[in-house]
Amino acid sequence: EAGVAQSPRYKIIEKRQSVAFWCNPISGHATLYWYQQILGQGPKLLIQFQNNGVVDDSQLPKDRFSAERLKGVDSTLKIQPAKLEDSAVYLCASSPTGLTGPGYGYTFGSGTRLTVV
């Protein structure tokens, strides 16, 4: 089966500009996650969707970050305006499982590397 697709792979922008990332999860996967990963560290959860509804966005900096998952399939993550500290890899992951139980089938995309200069 096809994996989680993310684009673009790389993006360089100046601070205060805006940027958007796109994610296409594995077909049929109900749960979608966006993570921010600083080089050499573990991913930090930004937002979790179940179908097209937000389950958890407690760590999303809502003054500058926004995300949506229209029709419960593709998702976009936007940053506006970007800051230097937003430089990181943004990972998208999907899973076929619901909110309860042990979970399985987590698959990550290759990520988008963002550099803010």
Partner 1 sequence: TQLLEQSPQFLSIQEGENLTVYCNSSSVFSSLQWYRQEPGEGPVLLVTVVTGGEVKKLKRLTFQFGDARKDSSLHITAAQPGDTGLYLCAGRTNTGKLIFGQGTTLQVKP
Cβ-in-10-Å burial (0-12, 13-18, 19+) of 23 comes to buried
Nearer to partner 1, 56 or 74 (CB): 56
Question: Taking CB under 8 A as the rule, does residue 5 contact partner 1?
Answer: no
Residues β-bridged to residue 115: 12
Interaction pattern, residues 85-104, with partner 1; x per rule: CB under 8 A: ------x-x---xxxxxxxx
Residues 6+ apart with CB under 8 A from 99: 31, 50, 55
Q: Which residues bind partner 1 (CB under 8 A)?
A: 4, 31, 33, 35, 40-45, 48, 50, 55-56, 91, 93, 97-104, 106-111, 113
